Amino acid sequence: MLCLSIGIGISLLMITSCEEKINFISYNYIVDHVYTNHTGQHLTMKVYNRHDEMFKSFNIQKGHSISTHTWSGDVAPALFHFESFTHKIGDSVIVKFDDAKCITYLDQITNNKIFNLEEYDNYNPELIKPGKLFTLYYTFTEEDYNLAVDCQ
């Protein structure tokens, strides 16, 4: 009886130890991405990878917001990284408005708002310190709509 009690105790201890190791994953950054449409037009945000393949598309009704994804990793937050391989990393974003006007954002172009953390509504250096969950907010405004041209 004593051996049975000791055996059960050891088994429970081992199961508990294994569960803790399996469930514990630590990331330095966990970031939610939220986009809001204040343009007065419905819009579609299309995300393309470096192979010019559209792999994500988000419809945002005027006056509404959407959460596109939550990113987690051990390096500073990167925008439009949905997974770690190139086919799921955004290289460009085309925003198409209901009236067939578009605006294109490219990752490698200087001052390209949507790919620049500092252009996000709530950006500040304190926000993106490692070790905490935070949300980045970006608002499409009438100014963005005024920069749009006829879609090709």
Q: What is the pLDDT of residue 90?
A: 93
Q: What is the per-residue pLDDT for 42?
A: 97
Residue 20's pLDDT is 44
- pLDDT value of position 21: 45
Per-residue pLDDT of the chain (152 residues; tens, 9 = 90+): 555 455 555 665 565 555 444 444 566 788 899 999 999 999 999 999 999 999 999 999 999 999 999 888 777 777 898 887 888 999 999 999 999 999 999 998 866 889 998 999 999 888 777 777 889 999 999 999 999 999 98
pLDDT of residue 49: 95
Q: Where do the structural domains in the chain lie, given as residue ranges?
A: 27-150
Closest CA to 106 of 116, 96, 92: 92
From the candidate CATH numbers 1.10.1740, 1.10.760, 2.60.40, 3.30.1120, the one assigned to the domain spanning 27-150: 2.60.40
**Gap between the terminal Cα atoms of the chain:** 80
